[in-house]
Amino acid sequence: MKCVRCKAKAEVHLRAHNAGFCRPCYLGYFRRQVERTIAHDHMFRPDERILVAVSGGKDSLALWDVLVGLGYQTTGLYLGLGIGGYSDRSRERAEAFAGARDLPLVVRSLADEGSGLAVPDVAAATRRVPCAACGAMKRHFFDAVAHEGQFDVLATGHNLDDEAARLLGNVLRWQRDHLARQRPVLEPTHPKFVRKVKPLYLLSEYETAVYAFMSGIDYVVEECPNAEGATQLVYKDALNRLETASPGTKHAFVKEFVRTAQTLFADDAARGVPGECQQCGMPAFGAICSFCSLVREVEAKRARRAAAELTAG
C-alpha cells in the first residue's frame, strides 16, 4: 500500500478512512486532525493558557506533544493516584517528557493530600470501587489546579474509543443527564471552573498510539490495574467488533452524536448553577462538594477504626 499523500511506501493503514500513510505524512495528518477539531469546536485560542492533564500514557502525552507543536501555551498536570508501581512508572514518563522538552509540569500526589488520599486507601476505607473514588478525586484536583493557576482551559486526552464507549454506556441506559454533558467542549458553569476540552475525541486509540510511537514518545504502556474490571472495557470490546465488521462505525457514532443528536439532550443538563463548598470553596451543588464529602467519609471511617483498635488493644 502507498501513502495517499506522497505515494511513498505506507507504514500505517487506517481502515476507518481507507487510507495509508508514510511516517512523515501520518504525523502531519494527525496534527492536522487535532488542529481542525480545535478550530471547528472553538476549543481555545492561541492567547489562552491550557492545562493539559497528563497520565504518562500515550493519549495525554500525544496531545501535549501536538499542542506544543502547534504553538499553544501549555502546562502539564500530573496527579499521582498512589496506585503502586503503575503510578510510579507513569509519573516517571510524564516527568521525563516534560523535562526533555523543558515544559512546565505541575505534580500533585493524592497520598500527600489531606490525611493521605491514595486511591487504594480511599477505596478500602469507603468500600467504593477504586474507579469511583479515583474519578471524584481527579475531577476535584483538575478543577482546583486549573483554578489556582488561573488557566483558561483544561484539556484531557480522551480519544474516540473512550468517547464511543462512554456514549454506548450512556445510550444503553438512556442516561439523559450524562448525554447532556457528553460534549467535547464544556463551558464553565461557575467562575471557579474553566472550560474543559477533548481535542482527541475524533482520533482513535490506534491512531494516537501510532502517533506516539512514530514521534518517539516514551509512554507508560501498561494500563491502570483497576481498568481491567471496568465496564468501559466491555463496551470498547463490543465497539471494536462493530468496527471490524464496518470500519468507521465509532467515528460516525461519536461525531454524529455530537454534531446532530447531542443538543436534543441540552435541557436535561439543567442542574442549576452550583454554589460553593463550605469546606474547600470550589463549586458544589450541596453544602459541601463531593470531594470534601468523600474526604470526610474517609476520615470518619479511619477515626472509627483507630478507636476500635485502641479499645481492642
Q: Give me the residues that bind ligand Q46 (CB under 6 A), please.
A: 81, 119, 130-131, 134-135, 224, 226-227, 230
CA angle (224 as vertex; 223, 226 as ends), nearest 5: 125
Choose the one of ligand Q46, Zn ion, none that binds residue 280, judging by a C-beta under 5 to 8 angstroms depending on kind.
Zn ion
Choose the one of ligand Q46, Zn ion, none that binds residue 226, judging by a C-beta under 5 to 8 angstroms depending on kind.
ligand Q46
Choose the one of Zn ion, ligand Q46, none that binds residue 14, judging by a C-beta under 5 to 8 angstroms depending on kind.
none
Nearer Cβ to ligand Q46 (12/118): 118
Nearer Cβ to Zn ion (52/277): 277
**Residue 141 CB, nearest distance to Zn ion (Å)?**
11
**Residue 7 CB, nearest distance to ligand Q46 (Å)?**
40
Hey, what amino acid is at 271? Answer: R
**Residue 224 CB, nearest distance to ligand Q46 (Å)?**
3
Nearer Cβ to ligand Q46 (50/123): 123
Residues at the contact surface with Zn ion, assessed by CB under 5 A: 277, 279-280, 289, 292
**Residue 134 CB, nearest distance to ligand Q46 (Å)?**
3
Choose the one of Zn ion, ligand Q46, none that binds residue 208, judging by a C-beta under 5 to 8 angstroms depending on kind.
none
List, in sequence order, every residue forming a beta bridge with 197; answer none if it has no partner.
Answer: 155, 185
Choose the one of Zn ion, ligand Q46, none that binds residue 289, judging by a C-beta under 5 to 8 angstroms depending on kind.
Zn ion
What is the C-alpha to C-alpha distance for residues 150 and 143, in angstroms, rounded to an integer?
10
Nearer Cβ to ligand Q46 (10/91): 91
Nearer Cβ to ligand Q46 (75/226): 226
**Residue 80 CB, nearest distance to ligand Q46 (Å)?**
11
Choose the one of Zn ion, ligand Q46, none that binds residue 279, judging by a C-beta under 5 to 8 angstroms depending on kind.
Zn ion
Nearer Cβ to ligand Q46 (20/57): 57
Cell of 7: 505515494
**Residue 125 CB, nearest distance to ligand Q46 (Å)?**
15
